[in-house]
Amino acid sequence: MKKIFLISCFVYTLASSSCSDFLDVKPTTSADAGTAIETAADAKVVLNGLMSKLASASYYGRNFPLYADSKGGDLTITSQGRGYDYLYVFNHSESSNSYSSIWSQGYHCLAQVNNLIESIEKLKTAGSTEDFDNYLGQALTVRALIHFDLVRLYGEPYNENKSALGVPTVTKLLNGEAQELRNTVDENYKQIVDDLTSAEPLLSKAKANGFINFFANKALQARVYLYMENYTESLAAAEEVIQADIYTLYENSQWAESWSTEFGTESIFELGVYPNEGDLGNSSLGAMYRKAGHGSSSILGYFTASTSFLDKLSEDADDVRWSIMAADELSETSTHPGKRLGASYKYSGSTGLAGDKKSANSTAVNIKVIRLSELYLIAAEAALEKNAPDRQKSANYLNEIRKRSPNLPAASAANITMNMIEEERSKELFTEGHRFFDMIRWNKTITFDDDLGAISTIHREKSIDRTFYKTILPIPLDEINANPAIEGQQNPGY
């Protein structure tokens, strides 16, 4: 029998070890499936490896946030053929440009997570007196995060058709003959919420740079509930993080510098990226958004801000978020004689390529998965959208982020709108992996700035919405070849 590609990431290899001596297998510095643990210190080693895998190029280190930003309308390309333009033009099929690395890396990480969870459970059953709670809580939270990311890529929006197919929910180690099929979107989300709520009481409330704590879990709950349109629970989770005063928003004078600083006061969950250890250099996330040629001839100017995004930011010339923008290759050219600050330098540390390690010749920058500013924006949206809207509370939360545009008038209970919140999310979370997912869950039309680079495409129209089948990725051909039954569950249109 052919083995499913997904499940090939899950094969629980014991090598020469028997079942009886499984718990004697020594852990390594990576989170390999089959690695066992004996102590809480061993569990931490496994989590170290898992966080490194989350920060890889195939996942949060580049491909996942790049997917969401390149397709959301706030970015565009100025020329085709430089690389990754197939994302922007939606040139996907099950056999070509399927962008399957997130699928394979996501399920590979789930193998590590489930290995850790099952190992801890075995040790507890065997009577271990070690305290594994915090590590178990982190593993459950990561399992929820991965399933949440995958279902957003491969399933219909929860608020459109939660009975549609999502992704295989995998909560145990699988053997090599397993042939897992897709669960529904609803089933995926139920497991996500179950993992998050089960993890919550196990987690430490202390700051945990590079790892997950109680507040990272609550922040992820706020995000998940927002996508489910469970606004009451989303608001409650967001407020628990905000009101704890463990994390604080940056003042305007601090905002630019925050991108050249590790684990700042807003960082709730941040993945470490270090020189010679996960640093992607000229193929990093930061390299995707810099001006062509800046720092290296290998920097090709892959993506730049769309005209519509720059128009939003231009509402206030003193908006602090201009501080990470710089001239792109179109600036002061014959076709664009004025300055065009379309290049984003968040993930370069600064417009001078400072990185965040304060070390020479390194532009490595950690990946900020969840920041406090997002929680304020979630709270603003949830307060406005819940069954009994609290318009004043919504305005108050929005204004804390809107202050970054000091010349714009404050929102009030009388004038606050969803459009104001949507635009603030766009400006604040630019190039952080949110825009496409936001536009899809809001059921908005995405209009692409194709004219800027004279981009023509046969793969999508200039404007699309979530009725376009390619807003959902295809199940990869490798998966279908390994597991023929899943071919009958391919997303419509492919």
* pLDDT at site 4: 42
Find the mean pLDDT for residues 368-389: 98
Find the mean pLDDT for residues 380-406: 98
User: What single-letter amino acid sits at 308?
Assistant: S
113 has a pLDDT exceeding 50: yes
20 has a pLDDT exceeding 60: no
Three-state DSSP string of the chain: CCCCHHHHCCCCCCCCCCHHHHHHCCCCCCCCCCCCCCCHHHHHHHHHHHHHHHCCCCCCCCHHHHHHHHCCCCEECCCCCCCCHHHHCCCCCCCCCCCCHHHHHHHHHHHHHHHHHHHHHHHHHCCCCCCCHHHHHHHHHHHHHHHHHHHHHHCCCCCCCCCCECCCCCCCCCCCCCCCCCCEHHHHHHHHHHHHHHHHHHCCCCCCCCCCCHHHHHHHHHHHHHHCCCHHHHHHHHHHHHHCCCCCCCCHHHHHHHCCCCCCCCEEEEECCECCEECCHHHCHHHHHCCCCCCCCCCCCCCEECHHHHHHHCCCCCCHHHHHEECCCCCCCCCCCCCCCCEECHHHCCCCCCCCCCCCCCCCCCEEEEEHHHHHHHHHHHHHHCCCCCHHHHHHHHHHHHCCCCCCCCCCCCCCCHHHHHHHHHHHCCCCCCHHHHHHHCCCCEECCHHHHCCCCCCCCCEECCCCHHHCCCCCHHHHHHCHHHHHHCCCCC
In this structure, the chain runs to a length of 494
Look up residue 76 and give its DSSP letter: E
Look up residue 473 and give its DSSP letter: P
248 has a pLDDT exceeding 90: yes
* pLDDT at site 277: 83
* pLDDT at site 178: 81
* pLDDT at site 381: 99
Dihedral pair phi/psi, residue 184, rounded to 5° = -80, 165
475 has a pLDDT exceeding 70: yes
- Beta-carbon contacts of 139 under 8 Å, excluding residues fewer than 6 positions away, are 47, 50, 113, 116, 117, 120, 199
363 or 152: whose pLDDT is higher? 152
10 has a pLDDT exceeding 60: no
pLDDT in tens, 56-84: 999 999 999 999 999 999 999 999 999 99
pLDDT in tens, 194-206: 999 999 999 999 9
Choose among 33, 174, 74, 138: nearest CA to 434.
74
* pLDDT at site 358: 86
430 or 338: whose pLDDT is higher? 430
β-bridge partners, 76: 304
17 has a pLDDT exceeding 90: no
Q: What count of other Cβ atoms lies within 10 Å of the Cβ of residue 434?
A: 21
- Beta-carbon contacts of 97 under 8 Å, excluding residues fewer than 6 positions away, are 86, 91
* pLDDT at site 176: 74
pLDDT in tens, 117-145: 999 999 999 999 999 999 999 999 999 99
* pLDDT at site 275: 87
Identify the band that residue 9 occupies on the pLDDT scale cut at 50, 70 and 90.
very low
Find the mean pLDDT for residues 455-466: 96
State CA 3 to chain mean position distance. 29
β-bridge partners, 344: 325
* pLDDT at site 35: 54
**How far apart (Å, rounded) are the C-alpha atoms in residues 226 and 53?**
27
Q: What's the longest Cα–Cα distance across the chain?
A: 74
Write down all domains in the chain, each with its CATH number in brackets: 1-14+26-76+84-203+458-494 (1.25.40.390)
16 has a pLDDT exceeding 60: no
User: What single-letter amino acid sits at 475?
Assistant: I
| Residue whose pair of structure tokens reads 């997130």 in the numeric block | 102
31 has a pLDDT exceeding 50: no
pLDDT in tens, 252-271: 999 999 999 999 999 999 99
359 has a pLDDT exceeding 70: yes
Task: List b or e across 6-33, with b for residues whose CB sees 16 or more CB atoms inside 10 angstroms.
Answer: bbbbbbbeeeeeeeeeeeebebeeebeb
CA distances in angstroms from 470 to 71, 92, 101, 156, listed in the order given: 11, 7, 17, 11
* pLDDT at site 6: 57
On average, the pLDDT of the chain sits at: 92
**How far apart (Å, rounded) are the C-alpha atoms in residues 161 and 184?**
9
